[in-house]
Chain A
């Protein structure tokens, strides 16, 4: 089964850039890499998705090297409200079909 590995937790301060790296050594050729954000007692929320190189949107950037065995979510100038759990997802196999699987995620704590 395809699995992802992320740091369990990270600490940062307001205004800093935060980079969360995810390892996905068994990523399939047609898999995209997707990141979700989850606040306590809320459902996850889509942040960004990419296939290769770099993707940027209004909240984050996603860097994917050529071998695609890892990816890095970059959050510019974090604020206290960015304190959350961040999940990196790639495809997995269920009943012979591909679907997304969430790992344990990275718990980001932003301090003032």
Chain B
């Protein structure tokens, strides 16, 4: 158990819909990262927040957005969903600014299925 929690574990929805994925980082971790992993693919970095502020943005679509709240939990919002958005979405957290030397602890993921 990494200490990072994600809800829900599974999500099934239809095209065009909007969903929100939730992540609670490890106690004391200030950085939260979001990743997308499609079937048999590597992890695609989406976005990173540090202490409530956006720090780095990767391959995140404009239909997707995220935020980190004062209690440090984070939400990833996916809208106008398409079939290709079906994937595992992982949240990770780390202690510090998220420099590349910082060990990331991953949650169990949310499996999103778009029908």
Contact = CB atoms under 8 A, between A and B. Distances in A.
Contact of B48 (A87, A90, A99): A99
B45 A100 contact: yes
B43 A44 contact: yes
A91 B92 CA distance: 16
Centre residue among A32, A90, A97, A98 by max chain B CB count within 10 A = A97
B100 A102 contact: no
Contacts, number: 72
A104 interface: yes
A112 interface: no
Contacts of B92: 43-44
Interface of B: 2, 4, 33, 35, 41-45, 48, 55-58, 88, 90, 92, 98-101, 103-109, 111
Interface of A: 31-32, 34, 41-46, 49, 87, 89-92, 94-95, 97-105
